[in-house]
């Protein structure tokens, strides 16, 4: 049963991944739609970041995580190096939690 769960989840996930890649050649997309593809991907990634920053299992999270993400975003906006963005976001969240902020 356990193995079946893992294999079905793995096969389904791989099918999603391969389907998009394989479909790319099969379907003739009009230029207008092709230009929208990267924008659609950016929408998905931003939504992923936003929901991960603000929610956990459908509930809004405490202050530490969004504050850490905000520090990272501001640094990224000021064109700080990527490593600085990631480390500062983590350090802010960890520091706030150390101070007892939820």
Residue numbers 23-82 binding other proteins by CB under 8 A = 23-25, 32, 36-55, 57-60, 64-69, 71-73, 75-77, 81-82
The terminus-to-terminus CA distance of the chain in angstroms comes to 38
Q: Tokens standing for 27?
A: 């379907």
Q: Is residue 99 near other proteins by the rule CB under 8 A?
A: no
Subset of 1-20 contacting other proteins (CB under 8 A): 1-10, 12-14, 16-20
Task: Tell the smallest beta-carbon distance from residue 63 to other proteins (Å).
Answer: 11
CB within 8 Å of 54: residues ≥ 6 apart: 60, 61, 65, 66
């Amino acid at each position: 049963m356990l193995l079946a769960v893992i294999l079905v989840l793995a096969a389904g996930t791989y099918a999603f991944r391969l389907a998009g890649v394989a479909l790319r050649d099969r379907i003739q997309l009009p230029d207008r739609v092709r230009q929208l593809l990267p924008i659609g991907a950016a929408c998905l990634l931003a939504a992923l970041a936003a929901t991960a920053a603000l929610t956990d299992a459908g509930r809004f999270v405490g202050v530490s995580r969004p504050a850490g993400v905000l520090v990272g975003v501001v640094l990224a906006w000021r064109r700080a190096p990527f490593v600085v963005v990631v480390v500062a976001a983590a350090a802010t969240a960890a520091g706030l939690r150390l101070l007892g902020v939820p």
